Chains A and B, each alone.
Chain A
């Protein structure tokens, strides 16, 4: 009885998969002839592989979830499974051909990674598309202090142990009126290897004279490490005088106060607009449609009202070399992600793409073949 029912469901799935597969390849040959050439709000051409697989950075997991919702709404019967197993795993499995695209906190590294990716894409270059931007909040909890202004230099001093007290003159100088207590600063960092740590240290290097180096392990030599974003945010929320760097959504969920950053043009509060401004000023250092960002142009931004501490995460895709079905589905997904999918991002703690940047991305997505 039970087995029969399962059999029926299985049969249904198999049948629909066949049907979809047939549909996909049909549509594809038609689309291959007439290349779509429309503007920024590119219409989505659904079809192709019914279920895409992607893997990588856990920092963009919630954004991908939002994209998948939008993708399913735009293309009924299409789906994508994202496995947030980390950037390293994402790159490795993309290069091994296990997943259709990879998510990573950093662009492919020149050398072995790029070579392997080229091989995976049948000899064509892989592109790094920065699709998801997550602001990193400097979250803190000090009783009696709701608002705090920091600049990169002071932040670097706090996270390297040079500034040890909340009422240190360096902090006082930036917060004239605040009533800072004579309390030790408890620095909390990520104990696991993380792209957030890497980006935070790169930001401090670029803008704050941090000399400890970057990388996915925290190098500050002070404080204590907690596991994952949830762990650090929870830890800061439970002791007075703690400070950390953590993705925006975690800081919000744990009701941490978020420091404003003064990059030289006044204190800037973290918001979708202020982070969007920093993305607008970002320079691309990749060639053509390979949109590798010059992160220093974000971290070092002096633009008024721009929040510089952002984590840019890439989707790593093949420029060419997918089979027709996969290419169609990947393009459809990325198009949805860059357009309608952006609507849900602010709620999930990410920054929606500014218009100019969105256009660049869509051009690249369209060029995937």
Chain B
């Protein structure tokens, strides 16, 4: 009854490239379940072999290493930041001022940095998430197989473009192109705070708006790649079941692929968000800094944590003022940590992803 679908299964279920052709012949005649239970049986050995012990040691070592490494980074940031935080003359978390010229009178607060960082990242995420979803669905569900492969490579290639190139592109190409559109938004939707006239010159394009779009392009391949892998693993049975019930392509995607891949997609987006939060060079080149404080407009300038640190880093010559920037880096570290924790908990809450 389901014959045509079953016959098609191996071609679709294989993961990457070459393996698929090999796997296709045997699985076509069998049910897809047997290989899975067969594997654990062979590994049930009565005693532990040296290879087992070595591999276990290496794997555990790697796991411990990364935890220690992250712990060391956190410890470094804290140790470097604490002396400067003690010298800070104003509230570190709620102040918008940043003046570290005189190490004896440090005045630095991260509120503006935090807001600009978050707004740039959220804007990037809002743009990148739907597009990445579309690309991933297209690649896994709609595109013909022989088109999907090269297309996926091209998207992955986007991740290999150096961020300075994105930065220069944003400054010289995208900024001027966006100017008429930005001006239109300000003229027509200026009553809405996000589209109000900002504190920098729109014509120069050094706005959160431009930076957000560029960062969106930069995180697109990350979200796409992970989502694609997850969508590709939607159980064939679900899809076949939906088709058997007479679902159209869109209904199949909505009732099987999306529910199955949701957690992975959210997790991928969080990964992208982490990247957006830490993006440095492109944002530094594009975003105009300003001495005015952030006014909740997309057409404001400002600096993110990472760009602020990068702008000042070449001239660090006093540990106290450098410590102020490291304290900002610590906040970014914690922020990224929180974002990742949220992503993890979302994935953990949807076990069907496993």
- Tell me if B204 is interfacial: C-beta within 8 Å of chain A: yes
Q: Find out whether the CB atom of A193 lies under 8 angstroms from the CB atom of B315.
A: yes
Q: Find out whether the CB atom of A215 lies under 8 angstroms from the CB atom of B102.
A: yes
Nearest 6 pairs of A and B residues by beta carbon: A86-B314, A215-B101, A88-B317, A225-B289, A191-B289, A224-B288
- Report how far A193 CA is from B311 CA in the complex, Å: 6
- Tell me if B89 is interfacial: C-beta within 8 Å of chain A: no
CB-CB < 8 A to B98: which residues of A?
Answer: 217
Q: A228-248 CB contact bits vs B (8 Å, 1 = yes)?
A: 000100110011001000000
CB distance from B139 to the nearest CB of A (A): 37
- Tell me if A97 is interfacial: C-beta within 8 Å of chain B: no
- Report how far A213 CA is from B107 CA in the complex, Å: 14
Can you give 10 contacting A-B residue pairs, CB < 8 Å? A87-B317, A192-B311, A192-B314, A193-B315, A214-B101, A216-B101, A219-B101, A224-B206, A224-B288, A226-B206
CB-CB < 8 A to A239: which residues of B?
Answer: 201, 203-204
Q: Find out whether the CB atom of A224 lies under 8 angstroms from the CB atom of B203.
A: no
- Report how far A219 CA is from B97 CA in the complex, Å: 11
- Tell me if B99 is interfacial: C-beta within 8 Å of chain A: yes
Considering only residues 162-176 of chain B, those with a C-beta below 8 Å from chain A are 171, 176
CB distance from B307 to the nearest CB of A (A): 9
- Tell me if B312 is interfacial: C-beta within 8 Å of chain A: yes
- By beta carbon, the residue of chain B nearest A89 is B314
Q: Find out whether the CB atom of B100 lies under 8 angstroms from the CB atom of A217.
A: yes
Q: Find out whether the CB atom of B315 lies under 8 angstroms from the CB atom of A87.
A: yes
- Tell me if A92 is interfacial: C-beta within 8 Å of chain B: yes
CB distance from A257 to the nearest CB of B (A): 18
CB distance from B3 to the nearest CB of A (A): 58
Q: Find out whether the CB atom of B284 lies under 8 angstroms from the CB atom of A224.
A: no
- Tell me if A227 is interfacial: C-beta within 8 Å of chain B: yes
- By beta carbon, the residue of chain A nearest B200 is A224
Place the interface of chain A in its size category.
Answer: 35 or more
CB-CB < 8 A to A191: which residues of B?
Answer: 284, 288-289, 303, 311
**Which residues of A approach B to under 8 Å, CB–CB?**
58, 85-89, 91-92, 113, 186, 191-194, 213-227, 231, 234-235, 238-239, 242
- Report how far A215 CA is from B288 CA in the complex, Å: 19
CB-CB < 8 A to A238: which residues of B?
Answer: 176, 203-204
Q: Find out whether the CB atom of A217 lies under 8 angstroms from the CB atom of B290.
A: no
Q: B159-202 CB contact bits vs A (8 Å, 1 = yes)?
A: 00000000000010000100000000000000000000001110
Q: Find out whether the CB atom of B288 lies under 8 angstroms from the CB atom of A86.
A: no
CB-CB < 8 A to B291: which residues of A?
Answer: 218-223, 225
Q: B294-305 CB contact bits vs A (8 Å, 1 = yes)?
A: 000000010100
- Report how far A242 CA is from B203 CA in the complex, Å: 11
CB distance from A161 to the nearest CB of B (A): 9
- By beta carbon, the residue of chain A nearest B176 is A238
Point out the residue from A58, A92, A221, A226 that lies within 8 Å of B317, measured CB to CB. Answer: A92
- Report how far A213 CA is from B101 CA in the complex, Å: 10
- By beta carbon, the residue of chain A nearest B291 is A221
- Tell me if B316 is interfacial: C-beta within 8 Å of chain A: yes
CB-CB < 8 A to A87: which residues of B?
Answer: 315, 317
- Report how far A87 CA is from B312 CA in the complex, Å: 12
- Tell me if B219 is interfacial: C-beta within 8 Å of chain A: no
With A217-B101, A224-B204 as contacts: A231 and B315 at CB distance below 8 Å: no
Q: Add 17 more A-B contacts to A85-B314, A218-B291 (CB < 8 A).
A: A87-B315, A88-B314, A191-B288, A192-B311, A192-B312, A193-B314, A194-B315, A213-B101, A216-B101, A217-B100, A217-B312, A219-B291, A222-B291, A223-B290, A224-B199, A224-B289, A235-B204
- Report how far A191 CA is from B200 CA in the complex, Å: 13
Q: Find out whether the CB atom of B285 lies under 8 angstroms from the CB atom of A231.
A: yes
Considering only residues 317-350 of chain B, those with a C-beta below 8 Å from chain A are 317
Q: Find out whether the CB atom of B301 lies under 8 angstroms from the CB atom of A224.
A: yes
- Report how far A113 CA is from B203 CA in the complex, Å: 43
- Report how far A192 CA is from B280 CA in the complex, Å: 13
CB-CB < 8 A to A58: which residues of B?
Answer: 314
Q: Find out whether the CB atom of B201 lies under 8 angstroms from the CB atom of A224.
A: yes
CB-CB < 8 A to A215: which residues of B?
Answer: 101-102
Q: Find out whether the CB atom of A227 lies under 8 angstroms from the CB atom of B284.
A: yes
Q: Find out whether the CB atom of A91 lies under 8 angstroms from the CB atom of B317.
A: yes
- Report how far A47 CA is from B341 CA in the complex, Å: 60
CB-CB < 8 A to B284: which residues of A?
Answer: 191, 227
CB-CB < 8 A to B101: which residues of A?
Answer: 213-217, 219
Point out the residue from B102, B288, B316 that lies within 8 Å of A226, measured CB to CB. Answer: B288
Q: Find out whether the CB atom of B289 lies under 8 angstroms from the CB atom of A86.
A: no
CB distance from B100 to the nearest CB of A (A): 7
Q: Find out whether the CB atom of A88 lies under 8 angstroms from the CB atom of B99.
A: no
CB-CB < 8 A to A216: which residues of B?
Answer: 101, 315
- Report how far A58 CA is from B315 CA in the complex, Å: 11
With A225-B288, A227-B285 as contacts: A86 and B315 at CB distance below 8 Å: yes
- Report how far A85 CA is from B311 CA in the complex, Å: 12
CB distance from B298 to the nearest CB of A (A): 15
- Report how far A220 CA is from B171 CA in the complex, Å: 24
CB-CB < 8 A to B314: which residues of A?
Answer: 58, 85-86, 88-89, 192-193
- By beta carbon, the residue of chain B nearest A220 is B291
Q: Find out whether the CB atom of B311 lies under 8 angstroms from the CB atom of A227.
A: yes
CB distance from B185 to the nearest CB of A (A): 19
- By beta carbon, the residue of chain A nearest B322 is A88
CB distance from B16 to the nearest CB of A (A): 33
- By beta carbon, the residue of chain A nearest B199 is A224
CB-CB < 8 A to B285: which residues of A?
Answer: 227, 231
CB distance from A187 to the nearest CB of B (A): 10
- Report how far A113 CA is from B317 CA in the complex, Å: 9
- By beta carbon, the residue of chain A nearest B99 is A217
Considering only residues 267-286 of chain B, those with a C-beta below 8 Å from chain A are 284-285
- By beta carbon, the residue of chain A nearest B175 is A238
- Report how far A88 CA is from B204 CA in the complex, Å: 30
- Report how far A226 CA is from B303 CA in the complex, Å: 11
CB distance from B281 to the nearest CB of A (A): 10
CB-CB < 8 A to B312: which residues of A?
Answer: 192-193, 217
- Report how far A216 CA is from B288 CA in the complex, Å: 17
- Report how far A192 CA is from B301 CA in the complex, Å: 14
- By beta carbon, the residue of chain A nearest B311 is A192
CB distance from A117 to the nearest CB of B (A): 12
- Report how far A224 CA is from B204 CA in the complex, Å: 10
